[in-house]
A and B are shown apart, each in its own frame.
Chain A
Amino acid sequence: MDGPQDEFAIRVRDLVVGFGRQTVLDHLSLDVRRGEILGLVGASGGGKSVLMRTIIGLIPRRSGTIEVMGQSAGGHGRGAAMAWGILFQQGALFSSLTVRQNVQFPLRENLVLSQELMDEIAIAKLEMVGLRAEDADKYPSELSGGMTKRVALARALALDPPILFLDEPTSGLDPIAAGEFDVLIKTLQRTLELTVFMVTHDLASLTTVCDRVAALADGKIVAIGPMRQLLQSEHPWVRAYFHGKRSQMLQHEMR
């Protein structure tokens, strides 16, 4: 099982993505190891979300290869929900379905199982992400920001996919809720043995939950490694990112 191709959950090679004349990702290469939490940082509008959306097949690529779990990713056919779970920035819950139906949706579409078991699994997932069974019959418009993210996470994990993509999971949450969410992701990652690919600006989650951090600048990965290693990086953008005024405070805590 531990062959070289199984060591990496996601392998991206020489990826080029652009819109019109603009090139967003320029011969980018990135490996995500199995079972790690990789944080991706980069400037706003610098292509972080584009990279994530290209890997999951929402944006076409110009050239390069993407392998997910050893298989070449070519769009998102049926059963994509079994390969990966995605937590969108705004949750992207289906607003016409209740919380329970949202979580059941991937189960219903991909598996044949009894309604009873489906209900139990949905409640189990909701409880695993820290919600209560009473919340199951609410509609997405009745949820707070933190709850929306939790429900979206429960839906992303409905089929126990091996890879979880998170797009700014803690944005819009207060520090306490963000901290709880970080812990939740770490716990679930350990319990379900997930590989997590996380786009984030939250320095706190980078330091606390990420095993490795990749920095994206000028369409390339300019630095990758554990947080401590990134702090030593000489790349001007990475230095500016981690040694700016806003970042200083957090690093004092780290030392």
Chain B
Amino acid sequence: MNHEPLLLATPSGDELKLRPEGPWTAANVVTLETLSRSVGGDVDRSRVVTLDMSGVSALDTLGAWVLEKLSRRAASSGRAAEFVGVADHFSGLMDEVRQVNRHTPAPAPAPNPVLARLGDLGKSTVGAREDITVFLQMLGALFMAVIGVLRRPRSLRLTSLVYQLYRIGWQAIPIIALITFLIGAIIAQQGFFHFRRFGAESYTVDMVGILVLRELGVLIVAIMVAGRSGSAYTAELGSMKMREEIDALSTMGLDPVDVLILPRVAALVIALPILTFIGSIAALYGGGLVAQFYGDMGPAIYIARLHEAISVTHFEVGILKAPFMALVIGIVACSEGLRVKGSAESLGRQTTTSVVKSIFLVIVLDGLFAVFFASIGM
């Protein structure tokens, strides 16, 4: 038994006799391709091609196809090609291979690159409008669900709400406290380091207090929550959509908004202000530690300076923004989850979209709030 496939070509006048030998199988595909290419010229020149199959020791679909392709090349433009000496146990396969690849579907015409760009631009413009529509639809559906709950308070899914609060609120506390603590400490350190040059170290406390309470506390926490809980919401709802769980809910006469989305969004709206509060306190604590060990400012002075620098207004500005940011994160996360289609790839894509979009919207919202609060003098 020979281990290398061979292809013996014997030209005689207009005739060409090809004799494949050895194992014509997928394992030898490199040799097979070289062999079939090497006789290509001979095949084109001959009027009659005979393929003598009696020397083939093993054959699979790939080998059979390579031979069939040779014979089709030979048979093109009205010339003759035939197989002889096909062993019985190969004939089924050879017959099968003769049927395949007979018709090639017309390839889709390549689009004009400029038009394709324009098309993409148009699609994404329409897509943006659709995004806004989806957002408003979800907001409206949530509003109706809230009204429903206000009318019949017992229809609120309390168990689900409490469980979501536990997951996205309670379980998030350690990581949120740690991150905001570090942010507070870093701001304080930077403040002491740079303000020292002007002898304005004591104003570091004002900066830390105002920055943390008005902006950074809520912003950092919202971004953390969007990454941590928003993505979880999207992935959960997306896989529920994929496994038809949401369809099952609808067919039982239950509104997925009531059952799945309202408890999740409500939990976010309740938890985010609390997390913001905890985060702000952790940041102020971090700033205080840095003040003591790096800025040589004792706790008593730090607290007294803080007392002078910040007012309840600063705290209110920060904490008022939190529920709105939570609403945006929740709506984006849930509606992206419901847009997941059948594939695993789509789940990943929607989760990414959800996080990117909610972080973007949180920052935009923060900007709008800054304008708003400035104009009402808070």
Contact = CB atoms under 8 A, between A and B. Distances in A.
Partners in one complex: yes
Given A124-B100, A125-B61, A140-B343, A191 B105 contact: no
A159 interface: yes
Interface in A162-221: 190-193
Contacts of B159: none
A223 interface: no
A123 interface: yes
B100 to A, nearest CB: 4
Nearest to B63: A160
B301 interface: no
A110 B28 CA distance: 11
Contact of A192 (B93, B105, B344): B93
A124 B100 CA distance: 5
Contacts of B3: none
A73 interface: no
Nearest to B1: A1
Contacts of B66: 117
Interface size for chain B: under 10, 10 to 19, 20 to 34, or 35 or more residues?
A: 20 to 34
Contacts of B65: 117, 120-121, 124
Chain B: interface secondary structure?
helix
Interface string B320-343: 000000000000000000000111
A141 B61 contact: no
Nearest to A135: B105
Nearest to A79: B27
A117 B103 contact: no
Given A124-B61, A159-B26, A114 B343 contact: no
Contacts of B345: 95-96
A120 B69 contact: yes
Contacts of B100: 123-124, 127-128
B346 to A, nearest CB: 8
Contacts of B61: 121, 124-125, 128, 157, 160, 192
A249 interface: no
B29 interface: yes
B245 interface: no
Interface in A86-127: 95-96, 107, 110-114, 117, 120-121, 123-125, 127
A82 B27 contact: yes
Interface string A124-141: 110110001110000111
Interface in A217-232: none
Nearest to A139: B343
B26 A111 contact: yes
B99 A127 contact: yes
B104 interface: yes
Nearest to B99: A127
B25 interface: yes
B344 A121 contact: no
Shortest 5 CB-CB contacts between residues of A and residues of B? A141-B342, A160-B60, A95-B343, A124-B100, A127-B100
Given A96-B344, A112-B29, A160-B25, 18 more contacts: A95-B343, A111-B26, A111-B27, A112-B30, A113-B29, A113-B33, A117-B29, A117-B62, A123-B100, A124-B100, A128-B96, A132-B105, A133-B103, A134-B105, A141-B346, A159-B26, A160-B62, A191-B93
Interface of A: 82, 95-96, 107, 110-114, 117, 120-121, 123-125, 127-128, 132-134, 139-141, 157, 159-160, 190-193
Interface of B: 25-27, 29-30, 33, 60-62, 65-66, 69, 89, 92-93, 96-97, 99-101, 103-105, 341-346
7 contacts: A96-B344, A111-B26, A120-B101, A127-B99, A140-B343, A141-B342, A159-B26
